[in-house]
Amino acid sequence: MNMKDKKERKLIKRKINLLGEAEVGKTSLILRFVKNVFGDEYLKTIGTNVYSKDLALEDADVKLVIYDIMGDSDFDSVRDVAFEKSTGAIAVVDCTREETLDRLTEEWIPRYKDLAVNYAPIVLAINKVDLEDKEISKENIPDKALPYFDSIFHTSAKTGKNVEKMFKELGFKTVYYQLSVGRSTEQIISEKKKIDSPRKLTAGLLAYASKSGEMPYKLKQEKFEQSGLDRFSLDEEISEEQAVTFGELLFEWYEDDEDRRSASAVKRLLQRYQEDHRTPI
């Protein structure tokens, strides 16, 4: 095949962090992902360690630059430097210690959000699921904690369970979320700002499809591309046809999946665009 006929792959670099208390397994998760190794000994991080690994995502390569910082939250200056301009994070809890979730939501995540880029996705790793005496699971996470997380994984650095899958999804989200406004559909629809451009419509649809609706990210990627949008070039022009097509594809999928709530939300966004833009869809 002629080199000119090959689709050029783009290299995208994304800085991510692992958040959480000491001994929850942050470094072990990184080493399992980056080097596919595991040791039973506790690996205490001093200051900040930086790792990197490339991920292949369809038509682009994403280089994850992973900042592993010490779990002692008293060292604010260490955390602050590591969090600056971060584009995503994995928040790690030890499934046998309920207090590790409390410390995440009370201390780590608020500080991270202050310094990371706007709406950086945060994935929750309920780690060490190979152990007995579990205190934390998806089912017993308090409702007040759920809005902090874009996805939740049960992981084990020891067995490798869900580690690769979790990092890969976060890598995708750090790229895909660049246009997402990071708010709920109700906030988007009720706020005074108009959805009066294809870009704002696309942002609203992405925000909903990314945070709600239970649509797998691979499927969102497929619908995005079917509408003619390039998630790696979201700073470029977005046409009305592309934005509306993306919304219609989301609506059809939710309808077929009998997810009436999500279908209704997408329909309301399309209607809001029609009202604010004053052009028929």
Based on the fold, state whether residues 192 and 153 are members of the same structural domain. no
Based on the fold, state whether residues 101 and 172 are members of the same structural domain. yes
Give the count of domains, the chain. 2
Q: What is the pLDDT of residue 244?
A: 93
Domain range spanning residue 214? Answer: 185-277
pTM score: 0.62
Asked whether residue 1 is domain-assigned, the answer is no
Q: Which of 156, 176, 196 is the last residue of a domain?
A: 176
Asked whether residue 172 is domain-assigned, the answer is yes
Start-to-end C-alpha separation, the chain: 41
CATH number of the CATH domain containing 52:
3.40.50.300
Q: Which of 128, 145, 176 is the last residue of a domain?
A: 176
Q: Alpha-carbon distance 177 to 206, whole Å?
A: 8
Based on the fold, state whether residues 79 and 153 are members of the same structural domain. yes
Sheet order of strands, 10-19 included = 48-57, 60-69, 10-19, 88-94, 122-127, 151-154
Residue 133 is encoded by which pair of tokens? 């005496």
Based on the fold, state whether residues 41 and 127 are members of the same structural domain. yes
> In a structure prediction context, what are the per-residue pLDDT tens digits for the chain, which is 281 residues long?
344 344 566 788 899 999 999 889 998 999 999 989 876 554 555 557 889 999 887 667 889 999 988 655 555 667 788 898 899 999 999 999 999 999 999 999 999 999 998 778 999 999 999 998 889 988 888 888 888 898 899 999 999 999 999 999 899 888 766 544 444 445 555 554 577 888 878 877 876 665 555 566 667 778 878 888 876 555 567 889 998 999 999 899 888 888 888 888 888 889 888 888 765 44
Q: What is the pLDDT of residue 4?
A: 39
Closest listed residue to residue 211, CA positions, set 220, 201, 200: 220
Residue 44 CA neighbour count, 13 Å, CB half: 2
Q: Which of 129, 144, 176 is the last residue of a domain?
A: 176
Based on the fold, state whether residues 193 and 132 are members of the same structural domain. no
Asked whether residue 165 is domain-assigned, the answer is yes
Based on the fold, state whether residues 164 and 200 are members of the same structural domain. no
Residue 5 is encoded by which pair of tokens? 């006929």
Asked whether residue 2 is domain-assigned, the answer is no
Based on the fold, state whether residues 171 and 190 are members of the same structural domain. no
